[in-house]
Amino acid sequence: MTRLLRTRLGGRLFALIALESILILGAVALAAWLRVGADWWLVLAVEGGFEKALYVAFVCQVCLYYADLYNTRIMNDRRELFVRVVQALGATSFLLAATYFWFPTLIIGRGVFLYAVFLAIAVVIGWRLVFDWLSSRFGPSERLLLVGTSAGAVDLAKELYEMRRQLGVEIVGFVDPDPSRVGNAVFNPGVIGTIDAIPRIVKEYQVDRVVVSLSDARGKLPMDKLLEMKLDGVSFDHLASVYEEYTGKIAVENLRPSWLIFSAGFRKSAWLAAAKRVLDLVAASIGIVVAAPVMLLVAAAIRLTSVGPVFYHQERVGRHGRLFTVHKFRSMRVDAEATTGAVWASTDDPRITPLGRVLRRTRLDELPQLWNVLKGDMSFVGPRPERPEFVHQLTQAIPFYGQRHVVRPGLTGWAQVRYTYGASVEDALMKLQYDLYYIKNLSLALDLYIIFSTIKTVVLRRGA
């Protein structure tokens, strides 16, 4: 897994999930005590009672996850938190009741289940409030000072400000080589000193890292002065590295090729390539078998509801710029681009058929691409393949856009689970930042995380 997922947001969420699981098990134990009294421990000790309690906790955690209750922004909204917890535990009750109907041996004590549901609601909501209080009480775990006021530095400050409590980070301010700018507002906060004041600011504000943009430093900042501070113990880091670490994407604007060349990552071993291909073959084969009945129903529905072929075949750009034909269920009218040529899709696109809207929302139109994965044109996880007409346009407009073609395109990807659907140059730029992050941190663990997140995205019907 990536450094971001291991250390920053991931560490806090893993702690939240682990402690929440323990509390849910505690709620089951308390429910047993309320139901049977002093002999409550027998409920967990005999006939696999503890394993049954673990199953209750597992189903509960899955429902909390799919209710988006591990989304850091939703965790801050107490009203939304309460509504989603009740919805998640309602879904838990439904799933457990269905399970108990088909498999009565999984029931954990007569009457214990009902008590456990209400106790779990109270425990989860109470724990979330305590967790939020603890996060705010103990403050940030890392304090950053930004050198320069470039667009990249301001973008980083904005990104971190939105997630400062969950990430445990605080921007103490900006420094600028121009003394006249001291006191000026940049974002939240503003310019608090000049380059010469960095040692004083580091001590006064207990700064952990001084973040420098190379685009600001080259020809503008006194590198000998920064080197002197570095030798005196001040910790410096490159803005692009910090941006990647905290946001899960690589900022390509003002990014220099030297950072890509000398930074860690972009490792492509033969073992990883082979393992990834095996994962593709296994996942695509299982997917085709499991989805075959659904694909037959979709094909029949398309045939009955609109004029034209069932499948849509289109050229896309693959690995190393090689063209291949992607296969999808047709979701647009047959003459969708007869007069316009290749154009971006848009919200409420009139070219999409009524059934096509459902297929796109549920991602069912993508199922035939499993054949592309089997053939080797695509991978299960990777940057989404784009049309040649758009690739030519985007390569000219966006720096480093061509680098996304060093790996096979994917059925799903890091950009798809981290960014909403978009169809413009600006959206392509944002998705490229996530694609470069994926390529830089390529691993099986990241692929599995993306696949799991994609299931959640489909279930919640996002980003279509």
Q: Which of 245, 312, 327, 292 is CA-nearest to residue 2? A: 245
Q: Which residue has the tokens 């393992």?
A: 275
CB 404 within 8 A of CB 436: yes
Task: Give first-to-last CA distance, the chain, whole Å.
Answer: 26
User: CB 93: neighbour CB atoms within 10 A?
Assistant: 20
Per-residue pLDDT of the chain (464 residues; tens, 9 = 90+): 444 444 455 556 677 778 888 888 888 888 878 777 776 666 666 667 778 788 888 888 888 888 877 766 666 667 777 788 888 888 888 888 888 888 887 777 666 777 777 788 788 888 877 877 776 666 557 889 998 888 888 888 888 887 776 677 888 999 888 888 888 888 778 889 888 888 888 889 888 889 987 666 665 667 777 788 888 778 888 888 888 888 888 888 767 777 777 777 777 788 989 999 999 999 899 999 999 999 999 999 999 988 889 998 999 999 999 999 999 999 888 876 656 666 666 666 778 888 988 888 888 999 999 999 999 999 999 999 999 988 988 888 888 888 899 999 999 999 988 887 666 778 888 889 999 999 998 888 889 889 888 888 777 766 55
Residues 6 or more apart in contact with residue 451 via CB below 8 angstroms = 283, 380, 381, 412
Q: Identify the pLDDT of residue 288.
A: 93
**Contact, 195 vs 225, CB < 8 A?**
yes
Instruction: Answer yes or no: are the C-beta atoms of 239 and 221 closer than 8 Å.
Output: no
How far, in Å, are 164, 166, 419, 457 from residue 75 at the CA level?
A: 13, 9, 19, 18
Contact in structure between 213 and 258 (CB atoms under 8 Å): no
Measured distance CA(263)–CA(269) in Å, rounded: 17
Per-residue burial over 105-133, b if 16 or more Cβ lie within 10 Å, else e, is eebbbeebbebbbebbbebbbebbeebbe
**Each residue of 170-196: b (16+ CB within 10 Å) or e?**
bbbbbbbbeeebeeeebbeeebbbbbe
Rounded distance between C-alpha atoms, residue 365 and residue 291, angstroms: 12
Residues whose CB is less than 8 angstroms from the CB of residue 59 and which lie 6 or more positions away in sequence, other chains included: 92, 95, 96, 99
Pairing of strands 323-329, 142-147: unpaired
**Helices marked H in 37-105 — which ranges?**
40-45, 49-66, 72-75, 78-102
DSSP string, 254-313: T--HHHHHHSS-----HHHHHHHHHHHHHHHHHHHHHHHHHHHHHHHHHHHHSSS-SEEE
**Neighbouring-strand partners of residue 379:** 410
- Residue 243's SS3 state is helix
Which domains does the chain possess? 3-137 (no CATH), 142-262 (3.40.50.20), 270-459 (no CATH)
Whether the bond between 399 and the residue before it is cis, its omega within 30 degrees of 0, is: no
Beta partners for residue 94, in sequence order:
none
Q: Cα separation of 401 and 421, whole Å?
A: 18
Are 333 and 306 within 8 A, CB to CB? yes
Residue type, 148: G
- Residue 7: the pLDDT is 46
